[in-house]
Amino acid sequence: MMRDVCLTAAAVILDHRVRPADVARRCGMSEREIVKFLRDAMDGDTRLGWDDARALHKAAMELAGLRAVTARPHSAGRLPTIERATRKAADPAWRERRIRELETRR
């Protein structure tokens, strides 16, 4: 379930072009940590604690204008926009291009 929360947050940030700086400000993390999280989450590595992952998920969803699902994060995959974001984020070339855009925009 933790992996689902992290993947959903990362996919929403990448697909909806949510700025890492905005997410970082809401979560109390640095922008660099957010970009590192994006790269790690898409590779299947989730080193965040549960509270940090939930805060990141909630911030990403709110900034993207989507409903944050905090009680049952795995149910977020049923929303069409999140499914689309997750499918797009599964493409390694698209994902790398978006992460590089975010890194250069900093």
Distance separating alpha carbons of residues 16 and 37, to the nearest angstrom = 16
**Residue 80: per-residue pLDDT:** 57
Per-residue model confidence as pLDDT tens digits over 16-65: 778 888 888 888 888 888 888 887 877 777 677 778 878 888 888 888 87
Distance separating alpha carbons of residues 66 and 104, to the nearest angstrom = 26
**Between 82 and 6, where is the model more confident?**
6
Closest CA to 10 of 101, 46, 51: 46
Distance separating alpha carbons of residues 78 and 100, to the nearest angstrom = 28
pLDDT band at 77 (very low <50, low <70, confident <90, very high): very low
Contact predicate 73/1, CB 8 Å: yes
Give the domain extent around 56: 2-105
Total domains in the fold of the chain: 1
